[in-house]
Structure 1
Amino acid sequence: MLVNLTNRAMALLLAGMLLMSNGDIPGCSSVTALALSQSSVSAVHRRNVVVVGGGPVGLATALTLSRPPHSCNVTVLERTDGDTSVATYNPARSYLYNINPRGLRWVDSVPEVATKLDDRGVVVRGGFGRFCIVPADPSVAIPEPTGVTVAGSPPKSQKRNTRATPSISKSVWIPRHQMVELLQECCEEQLYNDSKGVGSIQVCMGKEVASMVDTAETALPESQKGPSITVHCRDGSMYGADLVVAADGIDSAVRAQLRDPAQSESWLASKARSFVVRRYRSPATGLKLKALQLPPNFTMIDHDGTLVTTQAQNLYSIRGTNQGTRDFASLGLLPMKDPDMVRPANIITRPDHELWKLADGSAVKAWFQSNWPRLNWDEMVDDKEWERFVQAKTTTFPYCQYVPGSVVVAPNESAGVVLVGDACHAFPPDIGQGINAGLQDVVALDLALQDREIDLCQDSVPPSWSPSASAPTLGQGLLRYQRNRRAEHGALIRLARFGSPYQYRQPWIRDRIGRVCWSANVAFRLLLNKATFGWVPPAAILLAQNVNLSYRQVMRRADTTARVLQSTVLAAVAWLLVRKFSLL
């Protein structure tokens, strides 16, 4: 009775403080802070989770773990200061996501996210949208945009996980900052949800993680223990947690802590070797990207002098006239839902490209004018944008990398740390799986903590919010997650290395030779696939479009074809040698 009265008094005190401060808690959104005063007293007995990283995967994790059957109290720590959606928008990068059924599996499990995503994104069915390659020569007509599908639909007789390669049934294009914004809205709206068993979500900005400390008191009974991990931020704030989720990207501070020699006496560093990053180079590693902001619905000059107006929801690749190894470039534009929104035009090329050496806006403008004569640069882009483009830092495509370990668990299995998204796997964006693989991690973590089978196929049953009959310990759930994701992440990185690394038309001579060889390999495998009525699998990048296959299954089938071809070649060479020497 005394405990209940104390808890109720603390809640009323916090509510009064919030009312006196107009709902503001330093570093937290006001809506989130207000919800803390409205949380149920029983929430003090819920598991505390700290999610490091306020990007799409981090916010998705917060939504999942705060809902039944987990019902955790979640604190999201984002190192960028200011509003989440604004702070994470960089016009020089202008990332756009293509969320396919691998990622939509998580989206569909949260109805409000699915509704907002369909409303704000470009929904494409049966492929990736309408695509137009604009020729560099102004005397050549601009073709009409056509639909893009990577693979055809399978025969009706072939079911899930067969050798068929169905095309993607639905995907959604959306800019990264809009994805972050809608997820943050869902986190805030959940705070007003009257459903029982829903935990709280607190989003704190400007919180850069400095260290993690094991604060578990193993001598105390479980009912008297506080949070087992304390996360220290550089501004002096501290957050207690039973579970820390690292969703803080390729340079994860949490992952670094798990390898910190200062933690050698703690269970937090007990698996330090498994968090050593394994890096592999692909033909896309090291490429540099910048985006120039073009006006919405800009026009291009057609072969007959008429103007062709671009459409916001179409994809465009505008070829340049330069064809050298250090001056070739194309402009790439991805679909946007809002027809009045500026169009980011991406330039992706090698780091020794002459464009990166230009030091002022007027020089860059002159270079664009000579390379893309179809566009009226005087009217489209002002001097301020040219200077911004010059001053902006380029984004460098990373190595294909992952860590073998994705969890570390306390000896009593009551606490742990888990990695999701880019914190445990990262690669260039060639295969379009970054956001989708991250959201699959969230689904796998959800199912593992429920002690359910981790099946991420498109037509498998979505995660249920009903509690399982015998929930595992936190440690058991985390270890199940690691067993499932370790092989998946390794296969994902192999797919990233060999899937489609030449799509940026890298201009070096070796790149052009590699692109020809890669294209021949894909064409030959596709021909065998058609000739054998699907018994010989096509190339890995085509298999990846079959969302009913895991990454392990994709690479296993691609490797099977490779081994068959190698064996056939060796057998043919052996036969020729035997025949030659027998004739002698």
Structure 2
Amino acid sequence: MLTAPNSNPQTILSSKPNIDSQSTQPTFAPHATPGKETAIVPLIVGGGPCGLLAAATLHQNGIPCVLLEQARDTTSDPSRAYPITVIQRSRNFLSHLPLLLDALCSKGNVLNDKQRQIVEEDGTVNRIATWGKRTHEPSMSFLRGHLVQTLRDYVQDHCPSVSSYYGYRGIQLQFDDEGIIVQTSADDSKLMFRANILIVCEGRNSTTVHQLRIEEEAGLVNTTSGFNYIKKNSATSSLLRKTIITSPNFTKRFFPDESYPGRITLYGSTKGRTSNRVFSMSAFRLPLGHEELQFRSIASIVLHQDHALWQVDSPRKLYEFVQENFPHTNVTDLIDDFSVKQFLEARTSQYGPVRAIRSLTGTATKSGDGIIVMGDAAHSFPPDLGQGLCAAWEDDSPSWRGILLHSVQA
């Protein structure tokens, strides 16, 4: 098992300007020194669309990160040559990254958004939906490898706060009171990082996911709140409690009580083998160290079927409860029990999850240590381990920092 070195964390800064960020102060990439521990904020494992978008999102919000990728060229892999659709609602995010938007528009194939399969209340897909196509903002289709290359070019050229390492061969993890120590080999060197959050965006059969399973079995990784089935009627899809995989120390500090009243529940869609499912995720106050920061919620949708849990009897009272108890929470959408069908129709697809990455910034900047599992790896964990952070929603407000993706078959 990996042990922490005695040397002080070091960060070497690059000097490229931050082009797309709205911040007036440039941010820079942390670079690892072989054999020494490098202090970083998040560490992203996996250089697919999910990992690259996570890196771009963190950079756009002024958060340096390290990105570990397996290969520089993914366009020649025939096993990964399936199409991915960037849907038009993602423009609310892409408008904050104009250079990326221009690159995608120049290389993507425009789709007819009027033909889209949807998920019914019971999780089956059996009809076509009309999405109300906006001709000036069409959806775009890419082969996965070409989308990855477009995103990688953007990150390399315009995201100096992202430091990429290629050819990594597995990771080793150790948890302590200060975060997560990560050791790996990349670019023919042994590297060591101290991360306050690990964002896993790899496939279900990856060595990183295998390592997480080993850590979980050893009791070094657990979930913030566990998974319980939420009470549901027979007409709706399975509703699963969603959470973030974290170290025991994180759980003690930020979620000491299973019935902690600060829990806010989000709903999103996730890809199942037989049908899409709808899960919920808990958001809560995240103090940093011994001081509680001003809470900017990672929540934009508040929903819970069991109103008795909140001691309220209507969605409106639930909204008032959240506003009264958590005045810094930004509630942009409130869905009651009767809106599940509309929610599914608007936010799920047959072949893959609708993903939103907005939560990364709130978690990465406010939490101590933790692991978020995203992308294909998110769906490899059974309910008792977690199935990833893939919340699905859209938000038309200027503060939106998410991007929505879903995969489609040829």
How would you bin the TM-score normalised by the shorter chain?
0.3 to 0.5
Normalised TM-score (structure 1): 0.34
TM-score by length of 2: 0.46
Higher relative contact order (CA 8 A, sep 6+): 2
Considering only CA atoms, is the larger Rg found in Structure 1 or Structure 2?
1
